[in-house]
Homo-oligomer: A and B are copies of this chain.
């Protein structure tokens, strides 16, 4: 599905603040209710627009530790991968996980209440799957965090 300039503007608004009414969004993009609504519906159907969520404040909820975990493994069989993937999906502390190209095989972003909670997570993970090398980078300060794509 192709996206035009108006769709782009709508997306920019929605990924900034989706809590406003159709009217407000329509005004912001210089159009009116019905066309905007039809475009949003189409983008939803096409899967361009995913779920609508609230972003909770991690600090205020006591999630004061955030780690980036760099993982090297020696095992590259399908079965190991399947188990590893399952473990990541099941653990709610894992906010983000990517398979990488190059030296390092995986990167995870893990949010926990404190350093001890990270250790609990870490011990649980390595008992479930064999990994060759793990490096944890501790975040001191979150300088920026957005889901808004640079459309």
Write the residues of chain A forming the contact surface with B, with a CB cutoff of 8 angstroms: 1, 3, 11, 14-19, 46-58, 60-61, 63, 66, 68, 85, 88-89, 92-102, 104, 106-107, 111-112, 137-151
Number of copies: 2
Q: Which of B16, B48, B52 contacts A19 (CB 8 A)?
A: B52
Q: Is the CB of A19 within 8 A of B89?
A: no
Q: Is the CB of B17 within 8 A of A142?
A: no
Residues of B within 8 Å of A50, CB to CB, are 54-57
- Complex-state Cα separation, A141 to B94, whole angstroms: 15
A67 to chain B, nearest CB (A): 10
Residues of B within 8 Å of A106, CB to CB, are 143
